[in-house]
Amino acid sequence: MIAADQRALTSRPVRLLGLCGSLRQQSRSRALLDATGLVTGGSAWPGPVAFRIFDHLGQLPLFNPDEMALPSAHVLALWAAVDDADALVIASPEYAHGVTGTIKNALDWLVGHPPFAGKPIAVFNPSHRADHADLSLKETLRTMAADLIPGACLRIPVTACDLSAQQLSSTSPYRELMTEALQAVVRHLWERSDSPGQKGQPIEHSKHLNAKETA
Ligand SMILES: Cc1cc2nc3c(=O)[nH]c(=O)nc-3n(C[C@H](O)[C@H](O)[C@H](O)COP(=O)(O)O)c2cc1C
């Protein structure tokens, strides 16, 4: 990471962007992302994280490479949101042993968008049983040169329960799994900003996390 990025990371909250692969109103994947936002905003979370969800994956046109030069407003909004984020958090279900069209379409729009390469990403598998989509999603992300964050790609099995986002954010093991993943994201961002010979200052909540871990 370049020095300007290092300085930026020390002086503002970490910015996380959630992408949900389901458009369903009662989506469990969405509930998981909403819960993640609640965890980052909760009193037990030790530092400043700005978490938002990109709400317009359903409005993206079907990917057409011909339109990359003159993209729609929603595609531009997706690109801007991704550019602005320090890391992405993806939660997406499995449909017929594959990823959903929703998430694949969004990713296709990002293949030719250079700032996506190297973007740190946490992948939450929301299912207790689905493995095909999870593996396929990660394969696609690796192919797109995404930076899958070790320790932040977790199975957080919410599809078979009916807890609300609020309940998930305060119930074991969901709360602990989300916290573990978020801590891994923050640690990873800090390590990326810490290039040899050019050590940056820890972002404030990294200090808190370290203190918590060694307590
Ligand atoms: C069309 C369709 C296909 C599905 N295929 C699978 C599947 O292959 N494997 C699986 O574990 N679950 C499958 N499911 C179950 C979904 O993963 C589950 O309903 C999940 O909660 C959907 O995610 P959401 O709640 O975020 O919408 C399928 C559901 C639908 C609607």
Domain CATH code at residue 160: 3.40.50.360
Establish if 53 belongs to a structural domain. yes
Which mutation among 95, 104, 128 tests ligand 1's pocket best, with the greatest number of atoms within 8 A of CB?
A: 95
- pTM of structure: 0.88
The span from the first CA to the last CA of the chain, in angstroms, equals 30
Split at pLDDT 50, 70, 90, the class of 129 is very high
Predicted local confidence at residue 44, as pLDDT? 63
Higher pLDDT, 44 or 74: 74
Establish if 72 belongs to a structural domain. yes
Establish if 159 belongs to a structural domain. yes
Averaged confidence pLDDT in the chain = 87
Q: Whose CA is nearest to atom 2 of ligand 1?
A: 95
Establish if 105 belongs to a structural domain. yes
Among 178, 114, 124, which residue's Cα sits nearest to residue 146? Answer: 114
Q: Give me the mean pLDDT over the 7-36 stretch.
A: 90
What residues make up the domain containing 188?
A: 3-204
Predicted local confidence at residue 43, as pLDDT? 64
Establish if 161 belongs to a structural domain. yes
**Residue with structure tokens 């359903």?**
58
Split at pLDDT 50, 70, 90, the class of 198 is very low
Predicted local confidence at residue 42, as pLDDT? 73
Tens digits of residue pLDDT in 161-175: 999 999 999 999 999
Establish if 11 belongs to a structural domain. yes
Establish if 153 belongs to a structural domain. yes
Establish if 210 belongs to a structural domain. no
Which mutation among 53, 137, 159 tests ligand 1's pocket best, with the greatest number of atoms within 8 A of CB?
A: 159
Q: Whose CA is nearest to atom 11 of ligand 1?
A: 130
Q: Is the pLDDT of residue 1 over 60?
A: no
